[in-house]
Structure 1
Amino acid sequence: MKMNGVTALRTKPYLVFMDIDGTLAVGHQRVSQYTRATIEALQRRDDIIFYIASGRMYEFAALVRNQINQQVHMITSNGAYYETAERTVSEKLGEAALADVYDVSQKYNLAVNFFAHDKVYYTKRVPNFVLKNFANIVAGNNRVKSYKAGDQAFLLQHATEINNGIMIAPGHGDILAHAHKELADDGLLELSSSGKDNIELIPKGVDKATAVRAVQASFDTDAAHTLVFGDGMNDTSMMQAADISVAMGNALPQVKQIAHYETDTNTNDGLAKFLRSYFKMAM
């Protein structure tokens, strides 16, 4: 098997899947030196493969991945875009789902950002809430272009590009709940959340777990050789695809209930500490 020009392992490998915000990164953007050194040391073994598994679009997830190295592979857009041992898969929201989301967002006056591989389409001004707290839009990456979707027709013209999106309502959870119910009842897409003030919009039948299972199959490995680290509700599905599911110390209570293990917080290198303990490295 080939992966980006590299021959995949013939023996059963360990796969390590790492969420970014609240898990791998500190302050949504920085990977600590301790965590980076831990991952790089384990990459020198021939049986451990690392993946980022994020709700971010590819280019913004790559900003964090590149702080480690490009041997860390990618699941992005909440599983809509991912790399297996043999190929890259890119799922799309589709015209029907996009039209539904646009209509609901207009009804409740909610902002929506839609993400392609290297483009952002937004229905309103991109809010500081996203910039500061969720890092879906990260300053300093001039490879990403943003466009205002002023009407539904413009948005649908780009349906073949858009992988996923996020609906935002900071401080208005009641309105968001109504929008969530309406979208769920329509049944045209998958819904998740990385925080109390958003709805993550994902292609029907897709989540982080579908990508994780596709990667497992491509490497001929299993849940017993899979480690998943996360802190939010959009991480719980992929935790169920792993025997070694690890909630961060700062994870939501519901995530801790689902995970098999708990580690320290992201700000205290919890991911690296667990890896060092599990793989019997010096602390």
Structure 2
Amino acid sequence: MEDPPRLVASDIDGTLLRDDRTLSPRTAAVLARINAAGTPVVLVTGRPIRWLQMVYEQLAEPLPAICANGAVVYDPVTDQVLRADPLAPELLAEVARRLRAEVPEVSFAVEIVDSRQMRHEAHYPLRWDADLDAIRAVESPEELLAAPAVKLLARAGEQDPDVFVRVVAGALEGLAEATHSSYSGLIEISAAGVTKAAGLAWYAERLGIDERDVLAFGDMPNDVPMLAWAGRAVAVANAHPAVREIAHEVTGPNTEDGVAAYLEKVFGVD
């Protein structure tokens, strides 16, 4: 891609944000300049909608977001979901059945209402999500799987995520997508064909932009489909080996404004 990109897409955690989940003023300023100059910027994340506000508070203005690993396309200006591609209840039930047979100790949570709410089994370990109004434990497996979910979350104690995701993907082959975006052993499951690439492709087509004109940044395996799809794929230096392997280029780490440094070079801003 020799010409300047027409769309910039970036993962959030581990890519734009520093390790303390803050956005540097430098990165916020670069994103604002590029967007204001006419090149749209979109966030492409595994995060649910309810986790975006803490990012928007650090940006000059809220940016469109492709959430839940591509299952939800969100317009923060109107607070509207432009597109959602959830797992239907009958599909959730089959996914859960297969995984319980393969990994008896597995526990589940679901992102529902376009990822504005979460429901979880009583023994599912919650981490840093403390939005108690949006999160509730369910009393039965049937209740957990009763509503369409944009993402099913699976944990089974302490697991090597690269090993665990292969187990889950093998059990769900042809039925659903399995990936991970952290080193905590959490596996994220979406409907078949739902990936960051699919969500970004839909958004780019809506803008009339070809994948060859998309510049994308990422750091974890859930970013691989997006980076493989985009015309220019850039990994941050702290990226997972699977991301570095398929990226066209590597920029600095998230702790040193790697995305901002790359964008300043490409767009000639400082």
Name the residue aligned to 1:91: 85
After superposition, the Cα gap between the structure-2 partners of 1:120 and 1:245, relative to the gap in structure 1 and judged at 3 Å, is same
How much does 1:273 deviate?
0.7
Q: Which letter maps to 2:141?
A: Q
Count of residues in correspondence between the two structures: 256
Q: Which of 255, 258, 264 is 1:270 aligned to?
A: 258
1:118 match: 116
Matched residue, 1:45 = 37
Report what 1:154 is aligned to. Answer: 143
What are the ranges of 5 or more consecutive residues in structure 1 without an aligned counterpart?
1-11, 132-136
Report deviation, 1:236.
0.9
Contiguous gaps of at least 5 residues in structure 2:
none
Deviations 1:220-270 (A, max 9, x none): 112232111100111011112212211010001221111111100001110
Note closer, same or farther for the CA distance 1:179–1:41 as it changes in structure 2 (3 Å cut): closer
**Separation in 1, partners of 2:157, 2:11:** 22
* Cα deviation digits, residues 76-118 of structure 1 (max 9, x gap): 010000148x970011111232112333454421222211231
Q: 1:179 and 1:204, CA in 2 relative to 1: closer, same or farther beyond 3 A?
A: closer
Cα distance change on mapping 1:78 and 1:199 into 2, 3 Å: same
Question: Which of residues 179, 182, 195 in structure 2 aligns to 1:195?
Answer: 182
Within-5 A mapping of 1:203-282: 203-282=191-270
- Corresponding position: 1:183 with 2:177: no
- CA gap of 1:214–1:177, structure 2 versus 1, over 3 A, is closer
Contact 1:56-1:77 within 8 A present in 2 as well: yes
Alignment partner, residue 95 of structure 2: 101
- Could you say if the C-alpha distance between residues 179 and 261 of structure 1 is closer, same or farther in structure 2, counting changes exceeding 3 Å? closer
Q: Secondary structure at the match of 1:120?
A: strand
User: What's the offset of the Cα at 1:125?
Assistant: 4.0
| Alpha-carbon offset, residue 34 of structure 1 | 1.3
**AA of the residue aligned to 2:21:** Q
Which amino acid in 2 is paired with 1:193? H
Across the aligned residues of Structure 1 and Structure 2, the Cα RMSD in angstroms comes to 2.4
Give the superposition deviation at 1:28: 5.8
The match for 1:74 is 65
- Contact 2:49–2:67 (CA<8 Å) still a contact in 1? yes
Preserved CA contact (<8 Å) 1:231 1:248: yes
Question: Equivalents in 1 of 2:138, 2:95: separation in Å?
Answer: 12
Q: CA deviation at 1:170?
A: 4.4
Letter paired with 1:57 = P
The answer to whether the Cα contact below 8 Å between 2:121 and 2:137 also exists between their aligned partners in 1 is yes
Q: CA deviation at 1:37?
A: 1.3
> In 2 relative to 1, CA 87–54 (structure 1 residues): closer, same or farther, beyond 3 Å?
closer
Q: 1:170 to 1:246 in 2, by over 3 A?
A: farther
* 1:153-208 Cα distance to aligned partner (Å, 9 max, x none): 2123322xx21122123423466654442223xx3211112135232101122111
CA contact (8 A) 1:239 1:258 kept: yes
For residues 50 and 94 of structure 2, the distance between their equivalents in structure 1, rounded to whole angstroms, comes to: 26
Task: Check whether the contact 2:8–2:214 (CA below 8 A) recurs between aligned residues.
Answer: yes
1 CA distance for matches of 2:193 and 2:61? 28
Distance 1:168 1:267 in 2: 28
Closer, same or farther: CA 198–268 of 1 in aligned 2, 3 Å: same
Q: Structure 1 length as normaliser, TM-score?
A: 0.82
